Chain A
Amino acid sequence: MRYPARPGQAPRDGADKQARWPDNPGVDWSRVIVHADMDAFYAAVEVLDDPSLRGKPVLIGHTGGRGVVATASYEARRYGIHSAMPMATALRRCPDPIIRPPRMARYSEVSRVIMGVFRSFSPTIQPLSIDEAFLDCTETATAHPGPHELGAAIKAAVRAATGLTVSVGVAETRFVAKVASDFRKPDGLTVVGPGEARAFLAPQSVSRLWGAGPRTVERLHALGLKTIADVAAADPTALAASLGSAGRHFHRLAHAQDDRPVVTERRMRSLSTERTLAEDIVGAEAVRPHLERQAEEVARRLRQGELLAGGVRVKLKTHRFQVTSRQLVLDAPTDEAAVLLAAAERLLAAFELGEPLRLVGVGTFQLSRRGDQAQLLLPLEDP
């Protein structure tokens, strides 16, 4: 039920925004958060563009010695293949897959369509990556009869616009929505309503906890905690003793407490690309073509975001995994590939390039929007 504002206390702006669904007016949702996650996105786009791939194990990634699987189709996943697995391992598990190199430009194009669909359901969306986003539908939800209908409408709209399937979770918090979207993948829809969240989370593995990486999971296991219910029942001080402030965070998540808002726009601080090379390369001449390609990609992404870069960074990793980087501040902010490349080449000259390299990266920083304030330069002339 809804609680009226206490007497003498004006309702804060935004504090009175609960959603009440037309079909179920008895249950108020404090917030309506949707997490939408595309199913095997890169692989699905490849199948979309080449229907002959449908039903086959498709791997997206580079086949060179160090290539990893970026995405595996659900058919390939049956062989135990998952993303980030070395391509060589994947090939041992599935002897005859169809391998396609990633086409990032195409995926970005489809991603923009998908994000546009999301935006038509709520102006408050937070993309987490190219193929997933949070939507805060608290204020727009009641245009739909109920949460299932809202989720189904998002799925149908994505399919109509792109031909692709998306898994959707609807809940009151970001964390529960994210676990829910993953619950019945692919093409899933899971709604976790008010009062259902703790029971829904209870049997899930602790690895579902947001921010719990392999080492944290190990520590939780060492404490005898296997499921989220175990964490919820654990003594918070014992959790904090083992995991520090993260312990409290996990305890709150396990109790389905997560009041972090959906953040519409995160001001980007840097934008970069890097590539692990198929084979080690030696010397400036060999590095240059990689700088060129990456400068072009960074420039394209800057233009997409209507951003200008104030500085350029080049990062190199040697075959012994030593990472060095050099950076410079540009005379004037730019989104032009040629300017980025010229800067990257100047930086390249500052490296000791004796050793074979396994990774080349070009990054930009001091990003600004077009039309922002500009620091003027002293008219210094080199003699």
Chain B
Amino acid sequence: MKFVVDRDLFARALARIQGVLSRKSTLAMLSNVLIEARPDGRLRVAATDLDVTFDGMTAAEIIEPGRATVDGKRLYDVVRSLPGEQVDVSVGPDDKMLLRCKHSEFMLHGTPADQYPALPATEGVELSPISGSALRELIERTGFSVSTDESRPNLNGVFFRCVGKNRVRMVSTDGHRLSQGERDAGRGGDIAERDGVIIPRKGVGELKRLLEEVGDDVAFGITDNMLVVGATDLVLFVRLIEAAFPDYRQVIPKSSERRAVVRRLPFLAALRRIGILASERTHGVRIAVRPGSMTLLSDNPDLGKAREELEIEGFEGSELTIAFNARYVQEILGILTAEKVEMAMNEALSPGLFREHENDDYLFVVMPMRI
């Protein structure tokens, strides 16, 4: 195999697959990248950890087609540090990869390419255009509450389903809080499974990275166990979590006895301040709401106390004191963009509901703390 490639293009293609490279796996091959110089004059740079696969094409001058695999992180580190604009790459029958650029020369030990796991293919997958920006916003606003508890695999990803014509929903929960978002997503929205699928955390992260790179024009499909997202010269495959998502709708409060409308940024700033004296471990902050105002309180026996009064724009119901992990509420307020947010509560130990004022696309449920 032999090709000449622009250093920046090659580095970008290698940067893209870094998140997929597996360092912890017992299969050493999974820390490698697959490089294929194709007879059609394109260079394929792909990697898989068996769950997530990035498969990309880059322009290159192919002198002799072939396939090779080498350590993906090392190759990326080498390529991005090279001094010139063009890189000459060749791999001999001994699997050694030689890179030449200006006066630099590198040799990387490779592994026979036929030992690299077979990559999934897009053949037979029905792909439809979907709004990349809608998907990206949904991920940004719901992806943060995915559980990292490995014993609950059905919570280790974002739940994704179609909820009507072209409209998609994403939900995630870690057992303490839950985020749900809905957006019109274009024709591809209909492809989303009506029953829903779970996209694992790592796949969601890679999908976000792809959407950031390619913008709005993406094609989208779901096979029985794989999410496929394609853009020009780039395809991402994500193996879905084969488990049933819990019935999240039952934990979303249907009605609320108390409802407060608060200006978002002052609320966020006050939580940050009061949170300084919250317990370092639980971040518990008490919120007392009443008509016209609310009070944030933290009380840490080791450190001291803090309190702040905030104006409430609208309030329905009677006075209540409830405690939340300040970090959870801060995260929500930090993700939203509206000027005002709505906080709905029933009792001190029942879930609280947060959303943008007069925007029902997103809602966030947070379980309170017992203090």
Contacts and interface: CB of A to CB of B under 8 A. Distances in A.
Interface of A: 267, 318, 322, 324, 326-329, 331, 343, 346-347, 350, 352, 354-355, 366, 368, 372-383
A378 B282 contact: no
B313 interface: no
B55 to A, nearest CB: 25
A350 B323 CA distance: 35
Nearest to B152: A328
A378 B281 contact: no
Q: Which of A331, A350, A354, A372 has the most CB of B within 10 A?
A: A372
A343 B151 CA distance: 8
Interface stretch (B88-96, B174-182, B224-232): B174-182
How extensive is the interface on chain B, given as a class?
35 or more
Contact of B370 (A326, A355, A376): A376
A352 B26 contact: yes
Given A354-B26, A378-B178, A382-B244, A326 B150 contact: yes
Interface in B15-40: 24-26
A328 B149 contact: yes
Contacts, number: 82
A185 B247 CA distance: 66
Contacts of A347: 150-151
Contacts of B125: none
The B interface, classified by DSSP as helix, strand, loop or mixed, is loop
Contacts of B367: 375-378
Interface of B: 24-26, 148-152, 154, 173, 175-178, 244-248, 250-251, 279-282, 284, 323, 325, 349, 351, 365, 367-371
B323 to A, nearest CB: 7
B349 A380 contact: no
A376 B369 contact: yes
Contact of A329 (B149, B177, B248, B279): B149
Given A326-B150, A346-B151, A372-B279, A378 B370 contact: no
A376 B324 CA distance: 10
Nearest to A328: B151
Nearest to B177: A378
Q: Which of B151, B248, B282 has the most CB of A within 10 A?
A: B151
Contacts of A267: 280
A373 B251 contact: no
Nearest to A329: B149
A343 B152 CA distance: 11
A244 to B, nearest CB: 24
